[in-house]
Structure 1
Amino acid sequence: MIRFENISKHNGHRILFLESSAALNRGEKVGLVGPNGAGKTTLFRMITGEEQPDTGQVSVEKQVSIGYFNQDVGEMAGRSAVQEVMDGAGPVSEIAKELASLEVAMADPDQVDQMDAIIERYGEVQARFDELGGYELEGRAREVLAGLSFSQEMMDKDVGALSGGWKMRVALGRILLMKPDAMLLDEPSNHLDIESLIWLEGFLKDYDGALLMTSHDREFMNRIVNKIIEIDGGSLNSYSGDYTFYEQQRALNEKQQQAQFERQQAMLAKEIKFIERFKARASHASQVQSRVKKLDKIERVEPPKRRQTVMFDFPPAPRSGDDVAVLRNVHKGYGSRSIYQGFDFTIRRKERWCVMGVNGAGKSTLLKLIAGADKPDTGTVTVGASVKMGYFSQHAMELLDGEQTVFEALESAFPQAGQGSLRALAGCFGFSGDDVEKRCRVLSGGEKARLVMAMMLYNPPNFLVLDEPTNHLDLDTKQMLITALANYEGTMLFVSHDRHFLATLSNRVLELTPDGIHQYGGGYTEYVARTGQEAPGLRG
């Protein structure tokens, strides 16, 4: 269906692909993986024809329709979310436009002379519109938007009034409604809450076209893909199976390649030693010569390429008191909306609470109240003795000084620290080499999140309050953070839509629902087993 045949591609001095081949076949659901900057987006752009390989060929079968979703959604304004989604529905949306213009023409007295032709054309277009399921189109568009967590009110209001994250969902909705033969999805799981993610999982599982997607959410990828294409040092490597299988297989391949490399090195060393020992002896000349020829012919085994993975170790945090945060009889509302009424909640030392609830349930509000970024209308919020809090929110990323470099930001946060330890810290969070000289204003969302996280964790708090800490983080950085937090000795309160993060790190669940607030002992995995649902918005 879509084939990459011996493609090579340079980006400046960097080689992205070198005589690489792979294929996306009908019905396959493929996860595209590789480190940041490996060329994943370039591969998508070569399929759509926006870029060309330097050599080799990208071929797409004739008549194959392609839908491409990426993070650059462009300008959207002047239409409702429903109209915007319907406009992307391929041929049927073009026919809908012609139908609308013919309806205007039929009501135009100046066109009465052409009325017979207009009515005849209207009949033809209407029949084609019906044949393509046009009359169900709006219903389907609303279904897709509802799956992506839009309320009816949001569906009908001007898309220009929506935030960037919601516009992303509209752009994704256009591709989903289109149902092309091949869907290219570049990070569709960004900006989605857990309910939307689970709905999208179901949609993509039922989709019968070919799918090529990237995602920083391993659980999401595991449940959808049946093949992985990995970009690794200019090569395209294909693995049959989900992301977990790929990780295991890659590790096994590396182990086997390392063993093969070591065996060959030992054999080469032995042969070289023999040659060195006997090369001056005439009696051994023929043996030496044959061994030299043998060595020349041997195809050398390369050691496995080492992916650079840096681990972050928490310095030990000071111990806090047993009661870390206590809320008593808290009332909180915004305008006419009441979020909390008489809410009592206690967080004790070493507890790791994940907060679950649909959009607007009050998850971020709770974190702000505890962090002191907001005040209750009535009631008290008390942070315990010897508690040193670290609060991560999306807002913290906006507070970075755009003119400072990454290194300057770290220096101003920790003026007593040595250059070496700050460079090591920057390296742990993915800023190596010249990356530390980047100005904060040019950093991507993921880079800003990593920098804020580094600043928060260097001098470790004993109470971490984290609002969606994994947004924008790639799979490797996210895994580094999860591993580090799993070994963290302090207390945690967090909101996340990443189920791997939730399952690995929580030991308590606070569930906010319209029926009330529920507390569960045991972490997210136990919560799913007990409730039968992965998120409270999916119940009922």
Structure 2
Amino acid sequence: MIRIENISKQLSHRILFIEASAALNRGEKIGLVGPNGAGKTTVFRMINGEEQPDEGQVSCEKGVTIGYFNQDVGEMAGHSAVAEVMNGAGPVSIVAGELRELEAAMADPEQADYMEEIIERYGEVQARYEELDGYALEGRAREVLAGLSFSQEMMDGDVGALSGGWKMRVALARILLMRPDVMLLDEPSNHLDLESLIWLEEFLKGYEGALLMTSHDREFMNRIVTKIIEIDGGTLTAYSGDYEFYEQQRAQNEKQQQAQFERQQAMLAKEIKFIERFKARASHASQVQSRVKKLEKIDRVEPPKRRQSVAFDFQPAPRSGEDVVSLKNVHKKYGSRSIYEGLDFMVRRRERWCIMGINGAGKSTLLKLVTGTAEPDEGSVALGASVKMGYFAQHAMDILDGEHTVFQSLEHRFPQAGQGPLRALAGCFGFSGDDIEKRCRVLSGGEKARLVMAMMLFDPPNLLVLDEPTNHLDLDTKEMLIKALSQYEGTMLFVSHDRHFLAALSNRVLELTPDGIHQYGGGYTEYVARTGHEAPGLRS
């Protein structure tokens, strides 16, 4: 359906692709992977015709419809969410628009002279609308929005009043309702809660068109894609299988290439040693000559291109007392909405609680009560002896001074640390080379999140309270964070929609549901096994 043939592409001074080729065939579900800045979004834009390669071509079969979701959702206001979704549903929304115009014309006395033609055209357009299943369109739009966790009230309210994250969901719903022949989804899993993520997973599994997507959620990717295209060093390489298989295959290929490289280097060293030893001897001249010619003809094996992977090692956190957080008979309301009525909850040293619940269940509220950024209406919240807390919240990014560079921010926070350790810290969190000279005001959401996380973990607290810490983090940084936190010896309380993160780090689950609050010993994996569902909103 779509062919990328021998493309080369340069953005300012950065070469993204050199004679790279790939294909997207009918019905394939492909994950596009590569480090930040490798050119994933550029691939989407070239397929969608928004950019052209410098050389080579990107071709698409005639008549193929493409739906492209990216993070730049543009302005939305003046329509309900459901109308906005229906308006973007491709051919059917254009036909619906013409139907509305014809209905207005039929009711307009000034058009009386043209009524016969209008009615005839109305019949044709109506037949086309039925053929496209247009009358079921609103029902399908509401179904998609409900899957993405919209309430009926939000569906019918002005989309302009929604936050950026909810507008993203509207833009995503548009593409899903459109059901094009090819879906290009650039980070569709960002901004989704766990219930929406699992719903989207099922939707995409049942989608019959071709899919090319990026995602920082490995579990989500694993369950949907059957092929990976990797961007690395200007080339596109295809791997059959899911993300996990790709990781194993890539590691195996690297190992084989390293072994080949080392064997060839040993052989070359032996040949060069022979040439050096005997080049001055006339008796060995012909042997030396033939070996020189042989070396000239050998195809050199390159060492594997190694991704820069960084590890972050925690300083040991100071020890806290055994009782870390105690909530007793806590009541909390927002307006008329009651969030907690008599909550009792105790966190002990080295417990790692993941807090689960649907949107509005009170997950972030609980973290705010623990951190003191919200007060209970009744009851008490107390921290135990020697507790040193670190809190990562979405608004934590607002504390950064926009005029400071990344490095200045770290220096300001840790004046005694010295350049070497701070540069190493910045590197661990994805700020290498010139990136550490970027001013905070120009950083993306993901970069700000990484910087705040780096500041929090350099001088580690013994209680970490994390509200969606993996939002915006790429797969490599997320993996580094999971490895670092799995070595962490303090106590954790966190909310996350990333199942890999939940499974790797939790050893307790607190589930907030309308019919009560449930505590589970054992982590997220045990919770899924015991309850039979991956998120509270999916109870059967």
* TM-score bucket (shorter structure): over 0.9
CA RMSD of aligned residues (A): 0.6
Please give the alpha-carbon distance, in whole angstroms, between the structure 1 residues aligned to 2:259 and 2:111.
81
SS in 1 for 2:284: helix
Query: 2:210 aligns to what?
Result: 210
Q: Which residue of 1 aligns with 2:425?
A: 425
Is residue 470 of structure 2 the alignment partner of residue 470 of structure 1?
A: yes
Q: Which residue of 1 aligns with 2:405?
A: 405
1:176-215 correspondence to structure 2 within 5 Å: 176-215=176-215
Cross-structure match for 1:270 = 270
- Equivalent position SS for 1:31: strand
Aligned partner of 2:105: which letter? Answer: A
Deviates more, 1:198-207 or 1:397-406: 397-406
Shift of 1:188: 0.2
Show CA shifts across 1:415-440 (max 9, x none).
22112111111111111111111110
Cα distance in 1, alignment partners of residues 510 and 400 from structure 2: 31
Are residue 321 (structure 1) and residue 321 (structure 2) matched?
yes
Q: Deviations along 1:474-517, whole A, 9 cap, x unmatched?
A: 00000000000001000000000000000000000000000000
In structure 1, what is the equivalent of residue 335 of structure 2? 335
CA distance in 2, matches of 1:73, 1:295: 57
Aligned equivalents of 1:460, 1:131: Cα separation in 2:
61
Residue 415 in 1 paired to residue 409 in 2? Answer: no
Partner residue of 1:155?
Answer: 155
User: Percent of aligned pairs with the same residue?
Assistant: 83
Q: What is the one-letter code of the residue matched to 2:246?
A: Y
What CA distance in whole angstroms lies between the structure 1 residues aligned with 2:95 and 2:307? 50
Letter in 2 for 1:318: P
Runs of 4+ in 1 over 2 A off after TM superposition: none
- Give the CA deviation at 1:147: 0.3
Q: Distance in 1 between matches of 2:418 and 2:385?
A: 30
Secondary structure (helix, strand or coil) at the match of 2:124 reads: helix
1:39 matches 2:39: yes
Q: TM-score, normalised by structure 1?
A: 0.99
Q: What is the aligned partner in structure 2 of residue 302 from structure 1?
A: 302
C-alpha distance in 1, partners of 2:186/2:248?
24
Code of the aligned partner of 2:39: G
**Aligned residue identity for 1:468:** E
Question: Which deviates the most, 189-198 or 432-441?
Answer: 432-441
Partner of 2:401: helix, strand, or coil?
coil
State how far apart, in whole Å, the 1-side matches of 2:423 and 2:100 are.
61
State the Cα distance separating 1:352 from its structure 2 match. Answer: 0.2
Read off the aligned partner of 2:323 and give its amino acid letter.
D
Matched, 1:224 2:224: yes
2:171 alignment partner in structure 1: 171
How many Å apart are 1:316 and its aligned residue?
Answer: 0.3
- State whether structure 2 residue 14 is matched by structure 1 residue 8: no
1:430-469 equivalent positions in 2, closer than 5 A: 430-469=430-469
**For 1:308, what is the secondary structure of its paired residue?**
coil
2:469 is matched by which residue type in structure 1? P
TM superposition shift of 1:13: 1.6
The AA in structure 1 aligned to 2:226 is N
> Which string of whole-angstrom CA distances, capped at 9 and with x for unpartnered residues, describes residues 301-326 of structure 1?
00000110110000000000000000
The amino acid across from 2:451 in the alignment is L
Aligned positions of 1:48-197 closer than 5 A: 48-197=48-197
Q: Distance in 2 between matches of 1:415 and 1:234?
A: 40
Give the residue type in structure 1 aligned to 2:132: L
1:538 aligned to 2:538? Answer: yes
Aligned AA (1:424): A
State how far apart, in whole Å, the 2-side matches of 1:50 and 1:123 are: 36
Moved more, 223-232 or 408-417: 408-417
Gaps of 5+ in 1: none
Structure-2-length-normalised TM-score: 0.99
**Is the aligned partner of 1:260 residue 2:240?**
no
Q: Secondary structure at the match of 2:212?
A: strand
Task: Please state how far the C-alpha of 1:343 moved relative to its aligned partner.
Answer: 0.3
- Give structure 2 stretches of 5+ with no counterpart: none
SS at match of 2:22: strand
1:275 partner amino acid: I
Aligned counterpart, 1:291: 291
- Deviation of 1:79 (Å): 0.4
Structure 2 counterpart SS, 1:150: coil
Indicate the SS of the match to 1:471: coil
Partner of 1:350: 350
Query: How far apart, CA to CA, are the structure 2 residues paired with 1:262 and 1:204?
Result: 44
Cα offsets for 1:202-244 (capped at 9, x unmatched): 0000000000000000000000000000000000000000000
SS of alignment partner, residue 32 of structure 2: strand
State whether structure 2 residue 374 is matched by structure 1 residue 366: no
How far apart are 1:14 and its partner, in Å? 1.2
Separation in 2, partners of 1:21, 1:123: 47
Deviation at 1:113, TM superposition (A): 1.8
Q: Which residue identity lines up with residue 334 of structure 1 in the other structure?
A: Y
- Offset of residue 163 of structure 1: 0.4
Q: CA deviation at 1:128?
A: 1.3
Deviation string for 1:442-461 (max 9, x for gaps)? 00111000000000001010
- Shift of residue 255 of structure 1? 0.2
In the alignment, the residues of structure 1 paired with residue 435 and residue 97 of structure 2 have an alpha-carbon distance, to the nearest angstrom, of 49
Q: How many residues align?
A: 540
